Amino acid sequence: MDKFQEFLEYLKENDIKKAVITKKENINYFLEKYPPNFSMIIFDTKKDTATLQISKLDFEMAKGYKNKNLDIELYENFESTFKECNGIEDSLPIRFLKFVKDYKLVSKKIEEMREIKTKAEIENIKKAAKISDNAIEYATNLALENDNLTENQVAAEIEYFMKKTGSIRPSFDTIAISNKKTRLPHGMPSNDTVKNILLMDIGALYEGYCSDITRTVILNENIKNYSEIYNVVNSVKNEAEGNLKAGISVKELDLIAREHMGEFKEYFIHSLGHGVGVEIHENPAISSKIKEDVILKEGMVVTIEPGIYTNDFGVRIEDLYLVKKNGFEKLSNAKILEY
């Protein structure tokens, strides 16, 4: 059953006559490609149809989205769009609630559907991953060959490279930080000169699907602690990979990684990973702190990203994986340096 029919069946089973989808990422999910700037999808269970509503500005472009599951029509006004609607997302802007009376939330169902990727979605993620693989290898070589780059220059080079090679835009704000700033998991680049150690966390966006990869590059191998911590993080990542497959719980996988860190586990201050798709952070969260445990399933796309953050510097290494029955397929394949 395709995703349009699955969602229509869900609406019928829950007595939802009409659902209006406005969140761009959810529209992207149903289209399996980047949506028009202004668009909504209307699911009508009476007519058993799904319709993409778009503005005049995007009508010509939107003709290419029409298929056996989806009609295209011009948007007229919000009042007519939401007429008889009783199924909405929890992200619906509050200004639209005046058009809706009694309603049920459909977001949880869409989130559940988004966890398992279709073949087309996997291909889009693979293409995004290839772009970010090449970009991070390019930036690594750039940093190793130049000793007067700023963090902003590295970030700009990465984003320019990804755009040139097919990315719509970065899938999140590019992280390119060095020296003591690497101890900040979400540190932002500045005009500081890159020195000693460089952490780059980047992602591309292809047809609305994200990639996510992190590499840490040691620029000054004379500082002993850098390579020691780096090798621990890399070993933890390899240990997590060895246990990654359908059927393992996210809590167990996270705890395996933490135990493998030994004395350094107190410096691992975030979850082991997360799902990736039309958003950079999707279900499932690979964490031992979540309330309800989740079992990884075949077809999920997740990251593994152990990190250690001391008072002086941080190291994180991250890759993207497609969960399979007896293991995984690695979707990001940029070289991991050895020290």
Burial of 335 per CB tally in 10 Å (0-12, 13-18, 19+): exposed
- pTM for the full predicted model: 0.96
What band does 142 get if pLDDT is binned at 50, 70 and 90?
very high
The per-residue pLDDT for 160 is: 98
The per-residue pLDDT for 18 is: 98
Phi, psi angle pair for 30, to nearest 5°: -70, -35
What band does 28 get if pLDDT is binned at 50, 70 and 90?
very high
pLDDT tens for 210-221 read 999 999 999 999
What secondary structure does DSSP assign to 199-265, as a single string?
A: EEEE-BEETTEE--EEEEEES-TTSHHHHHHHHHHHHHHHHHHHH-STT-BHHHHHHHHHHHTGGGG
Query: Does 319 score more than 80 pLDDT?
Result: yes
Domains in the chain: boundaries: 3-115, 119-330
Query: Does 122 score more than 90 pLDDT?
Result: yes
Q: What tokens were used for 75?
A: 């948007």
What band does 253 get if pLDDT is binned at 50, 70 and 90?
very high
For range 53-73, the mean pLDDT: 93
Burial of 138 per CB tally in 10 Å (0-12, 13-18, 19+): middle
Which CATH code fits 119-330?
A: 3.90.230.10
Query: Does 337 score more than 90 pLDDT?
Result: yes
Helix axis angle, 224-243 to 250-260, nearest 10°: 150
For range 181-201, the mean pLDDT: 98
The per-residue pLDDT for 224 is: 83
Query: Does 336 score more than 90 pLDDT?
Result: yes
Which CATH code fits 3-115?
A: 3.40.350.10
pLDDT tens for 256-284 read 999 999 999 999 999 999 999 999 999 99
C-alpha to C-alpha distance for 310 and 315, rounded to whole angstroms = 9
The two domains 3-115 and 119-330 share their CATH topology (first three levels equal): no
Query: Does 297 score more than 80 pLDDT?
Result: yes
Closest CA to 67 of 55, 53, 51, 54: 51
What band does 334 get if pLDDT is binned at 50, 70 and 90?
very high
Percent of the chain beyond pLDDT 90? 97
What band does 223 get if pLDDT is binned at 50, 70 and 90?
confident
For range 232-236, the mean pLDDT: 98
Percent of the chain beyond pLDDT 70? 100
Question: Beta 104-105 vs 175-178: how paired, if at all?
Answer: unpaired
